[in-house]
Structure 1
Amino acid sequence: MSISLAPRRTLRPSTPPARARRAGAAAALAALSLLVLTACGGGGTAAAPVTVTVTPSATVAASASASASASASSDLWWQKIVDQPLDFNSVFSRDGTYQGHIKIDDIDFVYTIWSAKATPRMQEWAPAGTKYFSFTFQAYDMRRRLRDPFKTKRRVYLEHMTITSAVTGPTAAPVSPYDLDGWAPNLTFDPQAKTKCGKKASATAEGKCKWGMLITSPKGAFEIRNQGIKEMPLDAEGVTLTFQATVHLEDDRSGGVYSTHVVPLELPIALYTDGVTGATTHPQPVPYDAS
């Protein structure tokens, strides 16, 4: 049996003849010309002006309202800062973070302090309740570029870290809501911090290595997490933390001779009550490894 196939035809959409297309275009052009003449007052009575009113949708209106509310809230936050005594008008209270630089013999010692995740909003740091912060301490050899090989940089070791606190306010009670004092390798977050302890290393009275732990960037850093500042008198206006780090600084990379220095830092922190007696800071639950 044989099957014959008819040739396949391609269907094309029908289009109006060229003459019809030209006629349609001419009609549209004539209508547009008439509209322009009418609007300009030519050949007849001028058309009344048309007023177009654009009304924002409900979504846009809601967004604008939320933005205005956020702006007002931000203004209140800044007002709290302005109303505080100048002694506590600190960068840390304003930003929730602070970085202090202390230079000794071309070594830049850097304290980096921030409000911990449990109490991140500084405007909620009130006299009552525990407030949490974390910080790091590190040394940079400014005689070298940041990306230079580590073997060319002078070694800096942190032996001891001490932090004390003092409260300012109408109540003249000797309150110390936060204290820290100890051998740096025992305090830092890293349980295996690199130390300079060997058979010939000098030892402290407690039998610990005198040199402490390496803090030269980028191989070493001292880190403390989630430190709690305890409750203070309800009329407390602020608290000042005083840091003192005992360090051993290598005088020259090839000499192996070290000098000892104390690197200080004072950190004023404002406390906010927003006019409410007994305002309390409420820490929020966070992962155990949060900082």
Structure 2
Amino acid sequence: MRIISRPRARFLATIGLAAALIASLTGCSQVVEAFNGLNAGQNATIAIPTPNPTASDVARPFDSDFSYDGSTTLSSEVADGLELRIDVWAADPKRTQEWTPDSEKAFGFAVNVYDSRVDEKAVLAQKRRVYLSMVSITSQVSQSAMNQGQMMSPFQFSADPRTLVPTDTLRSDRGLLLNSFQGGLLVPETTIHQLPADAYGITLQFALQIAVEGSANDDNSFATQTVYQVLPIAIYSPSTASE
């Protein structure tokens, strides 16, 4: 039996671990080069290639999923297994990199609710009803350090959703019913007008007043609450938009 000294054994173990690591990250020719480096001495350094950054790794000028994808979903759990969603999308221009301070910037949004306790096709009596009585959106603009605070709320929106939908849409004194077969609230387009020339972002702040049914088909189990969500939107300089 051949006896291997402890330092030599540790060195061989290091080779084995390094080989496994390199093989998972590099091609065969690079594995051979790495082994040659190890054989040259125990203090040899193995250079492991660093992957090139992907598009998602590149820093954004104003961190906004909406601006990056052209749409986003803001989700809130309003009760156990009961989710309220605000879907927002760019309407005009659809390319969010064309959203500049002096341009008209239109977006659409929809509000719906999903009850995971029952099948999506279940009748209304089996679902926990959610009524929406008010939608309010305020905003805060982000500007260069020199001019911060000039426009605190350049965009505002406030409406009773019952005034925004056809008169035959299901409703009550509690508000517009969101989880009916007719669907929830749809606002196809609303516009953010001119912003300060040095604006590089705007944050929309949603506030939704809702009444949530605690148990399905139980008029006495409703409780009211206000749902808050924020939506950051990047604003690009005209030169960036033209590119």
Q: TM-score, normalised by structure 2?
A: 0.69
1:194 aligns with 2:170: yes
> What amino acid does structure 1 have at the position aligned with 2:96?
M
Gaps of at least 5 residues in structure 1 are 1-77, 197-208, 281-291
Deviant stretches of 4+, over 6 Å: none
Structure 1 CA distance, aligned partners of 2:129 and 2:239? 50
1:135 counterpart residue number: 109
Work out which of the residue numbers 240, 259, 264 in structure 1 matches 2:203: 240
Q: What is the number of equivalent residue pairs in this alignment? A: 183
TM-score normalised over the length of structure 1: 0.58
Secondary structure of 1:228 counterpart? strand
Deviation at 1:274, TM superposition (A): 5.9
Residue 185 in 1 paired to residue 159 in 2?
Answer: no
Corresponding position of 1:262: 226
* SS at 1:151 equivalent: helix
Cα distance in 1 between the residues matched to 2:230 and 2:189: 19
- Corresponding residue SS for 1:114: strand
Match of 1:109 among 84, 91, 97: 84
User: Which one has the largest radius of gyration?
Assistant: 1
Counterpart in 2 of 1:174? 151
Whole-angstrom CA distance in 1 between matches of 2:180 and 2:63 = 31
For the aligned residues, what is the CA RMSD? 2.2
Higher-strand-fraction structure: 2
Distance in 2, matches of 1:130 and 1:177, equals: 12
Deviation at 1:189, TM superposition (A): 4.1
- Unmatched runs of 5 consecutive residues or more in structure 2: 1-54
- In structure 2, the CA distance between the partners of 1:248 and 1:268, relative to structure 1 (3 Å rule), is same
1:180 to 1:269, Cα distance in 2 relative to 1, 3 A: same
Quote the residue 2:43 is aligned against.
none
CA distance in 2, matches of 1:254, 1:135: 28
Which amino acid is the alignment partner of residue 112 of structure 1?
D
